[in-house]
């Protein structure tokens, strides 16, 4: 029985195939330039370090986006429309959506995450705080097609993708990903997305080179994780964090630089690093408003409205798919 006002929560398990850490790490390290996908930052320690990053004075992204959502929640709700079906790919701890729920009053919220236990916990906590909200937690790899047949077919579908997570995608894959989102929300559907903006490079460089070295620890934690989970022997004292804004590509690049010529062993593999050789660990693309709108338009969206802070550091942009 489901009494209105009582907590309503459903769990849908699409059994996402977990990433193969070993295969992806070896593949990335054997190719030139060497790289490791940024999705592997987020083990328990990495997630803790990222939490710390979000509170750093130099790291303006999280607090600026939060302030934009808080300040404009009512207007966002008016523009997006109430009673929607709100889908959040990679919902994590479901903290950001809380800033919108009271104003937006969605009929249904669909948090999607690949991490089953975190998703379950986050959905239960959210549901306890918002008993009027119909929560359909979906354990899924959000880059896979999503079946929303459990949802009421008539409500407007809106995707929520905060945090400038889109910055981790290459622009072409970002377009493909948004086209997939466009498919899911369908004609008349919308997308509310947090996008970090191009700005003075000093601000960007500082945000990824904090003086207390938390970002360096976050980056180096990848090697620690490879050591403990893949039986490797990276010497963390012999790699250094290197992050800089690549103006030409419009992205922050994070690297780990080998401080000397060295060999590292991972299971049966030996990887030889030259002195100064890099492991590319992350790209974080920055866009102008016009650049990002053009990207979203290529994916089938129409720009509807956007919000930024007074210093134009960060943007929250709303798009729709024209109704047919």
Q: How far is CA 283 from the centre of its chain?
A: 12
x-or-dash pattern for ligand AVJ, window 264-283, by CB under 6 A? ------------------x-
Which run of H or of E encompasses 183?
Answer: helix 171-185
Pick out residues in 175-214 that bind ligand AVJ (CB under 6 A).
208
- Write the DSSP string, 56-75: SSS-HHHHHHHHHHHHHHHH
Task: Please give the size of the binding site for ligand AVJ, defined by CB under 6 A.
Answer: 11
Whose Cβ is closer to ligand AVJ: residue 91's or residue 164's?
Answer: 164
Q: Note whether 162 and 198 are within 8 A (CB).
A: no
164 makes contact with ligand AVJ (CB under 6 A): yes
List all residues 6 or more positions away from 205 whose beta carbon is below 8 Å from its beta carbon: 243, 244, 245
Tokens encoding 129: 């705080």
Q: Please pick, from the candidates 16, 162, 163, 171, the single residue that binds ligand AVJ as defined by CB under 6 A.
A: 163
Q: Please pick, from the candidates 47, 52, 165, 246, the single residue that binds ligand AVJ as defined by CB under 6 A.
A: 165
53 makes contact with ligand AVJ (CB under 6 A): yes
Shortest CB 41 distance to ligand AVJ, Å? 7
Relative orientation angle of helices 289-298 and 171-185, to the nearest 10 degrees: 60
Whose Cβ is closer to ligand AVJ: residue 135's or residue 195's?
Answer: 195
Q: Give CA–CA dist 219/12, Å, rounded.
A: 33
Q: Give CA–CA dist 146/137, Å, rounded.
A: 12
245 makes contact with ligand AVJ (CB under 6 A): no
Whose Cβ is closer to ligand AVJ: residue 89's or residue 163's?
Answer: 163
Whose Cβ is closer to ligand AVJ: residue 128's or residue 312's?
Answer: 312
Residues that bind ligand AVJ (CB under 6 A): 53, 61, 163-165, 167-168, 208, 215, 282, 284
């Amino acid at each position: 029985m489901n009494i209105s006002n009582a907590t309503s929560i459903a769990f849908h398990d699409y059994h996402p195939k977990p990433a193969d850490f070993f295969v992806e790490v070896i593949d990335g390290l054997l190719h030139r330039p060497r790289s490791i996908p940024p999705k592997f930052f987020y083990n328990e320690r990495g997630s803790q370090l990222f939490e710390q990053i979000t509170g750093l004075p130099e790291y303006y992204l999280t607090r600026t986006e939060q302030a934009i959502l808080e300040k404009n929640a009512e207007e966002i709700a008016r523009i997006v429309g109430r009673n929607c079906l709100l889908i959040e790919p990679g919902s994590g701890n479901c903290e950001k959506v809380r800033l919108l729920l009271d104003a937006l009053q969605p009929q249904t919220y669909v948090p999607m995450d690949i991490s089953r236990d975190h998703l379950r916990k986050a959905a239960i906590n959210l549901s306890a705080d918002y008993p009027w909200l119909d929560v359909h937690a979906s354990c899924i790899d959000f880059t896979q097609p999503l079946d929303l047949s459990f949802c009421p077919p008539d409500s407007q579908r809106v995707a929520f993708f905060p945090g400038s997570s889109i910055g981790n995608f290459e622009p072409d894959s970002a377009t493909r990903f948004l086209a997939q989102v466009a498919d899911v929300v369908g004609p008349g559907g919308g997308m509310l997305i947090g996008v970090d903006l191009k700005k003075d490079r000093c601000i960007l460089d500082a945000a990824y080179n904090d003086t207390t070295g938390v970002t360096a620890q976050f980056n180096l934690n990848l090697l620690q994780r490879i050591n403990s989970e893949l039986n490797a022997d990276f010497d963390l004292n012999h790699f250094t964090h290197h992050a800089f804004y690549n103006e030409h590509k419009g992205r922050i690049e994070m690297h780990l630089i080998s401080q000397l010529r060295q060999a590292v062993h991972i299971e049966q593999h030996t990887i030889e690093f030259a002195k100064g050789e890099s492991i590319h660990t992350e790209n974080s693309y920055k866009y102008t408003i016009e650049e990002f709108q053009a990207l979203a338009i290529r994916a089938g969206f129409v720009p509807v409205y956007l919000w930024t802070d007074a210093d134009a550091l960060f943007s929250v942009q709303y798009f729709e798919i024209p109704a047919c």
